[in-house]
Structure 1
Amino acid sequence: MSIKANKKSTFREYFEAICIAVLLALVIRTFIVQAFKIPSGSMLPTLQIGDHLLVNKFIYGLRIPFSGKVLIPVRDPERGEVIVFKFPRDRSVDYIKRVIGTPGDTIEIKNKKVFVNGQAIDDPHAFISSATVLSGRDNPRDNFGPVLVPEDRVFVMGDNRDNSYDSRFWGFVDQKDILGKAFILYWSWDIDKPLFSLDRFTSIRWGRLANLID
């Protein structure tokens, strides 16, 4: 009788421990930190295809899942921060870009140069791959605006300016759709190599591991 009771007690302890671990993991992923990977080159050279990063979900406030409503405000996104958000035209897709304009800012792009409130900004992360300057309303890549960033919205751009689909093309990001701030790389390798192969293993970018995202 006592042996069966001990077995039942041990099973129950393991079951409870697993349930608690799963619950904690869900809470951490929902409210504190979440992992993402980079599938495209729109943030080159800051982020490379195959980078895996962690996103701080609490820094902009504790939010109700799915609705995006802030329960406990912390602070608003700031210019220059790299954020992950729900793509406005398809909220099932997550995007990552850099904040260029915050509410009340006037954004304008002249011949690839970004101006905020009439002043050219220091833009050290911008990567320009093409010397060609596009013009006209159908080509907002290099000449855009001016536009005023509305309340509770941000204007975002990819660091790979000539190869990024961002606010120049589809507009502002609602702050309730921001999932968090990217802050550290925890893994990086060439995802074009076969997964279970020596080539994939040798493609690990050891020098990028544990790098903070600026």
Structure 2
Amino acid sequence: MTAATPVSPVPVAPAGLTRRAKAFVELAGIRVPRQGIELHREAWVEHSIPAAEIDRAEAFHDRWGGLALPPAPFYEGGPRILGADVPKGSAAEGWWFPAGDCRVSMAYGFMIGPGGEFGVYGSRWAPLHASTDGWVESLALADHARRWAKTITRVTGTAVDFLDLDGLEPVTEVVGLADTWWRGKDSLIAVYRGEAVCMDAPGCLEAHVYGGLDEWGLHGG
């Protein structure tokens, strides 16, 4: 058996993240030992998994594998430890691979989609962010907002559809798809639609409204 790659428990954030997300990864995250994807390549090829999909899983694993971050504010905390596993799919439908094990038993899993999207797959596919970087940016922003907000309001179910987002600025670094962040004059709003989409359950819609933020709370990091 190939030994796990030795790593320092103090992570170095991948290039390309905002200063806020970089600090979040390096101060709040840890790295754990991990096995590389390459040792599985031959077996996966024998199971008709395209080499390009194995390359994609390996690239994800090299960038994020073994990184454990604090729990997300939704999705039962998100993956326990980020890391790729065997791709699943077909040439007709596209290919997905796991992004990391769940923290608890759940009706869906965290996956990386055909276009590199980070999302959840239950009864259907729900891409949350256009990249894993976007997912990590959203975790860092939630951590930042919780620290600086004077009020935090949780909105659930169909009431989420009645939130007034007119005039608010989308937070672009999270590259949101099903999940989005919005910035107002003194507020940040996180809208979580992925669980409702992947489980076809509108009651699972949720939004968090962080109010009373000053300039640092809105843009800091």
TM bin (shorter chain): under 0.3
- The one of the two structures with greater contact order (alpha-carbon pairs below 8 A, sep at least 6) is 1
Which has the greater radius of gyration? 1
| Bigger strand fraction | 1
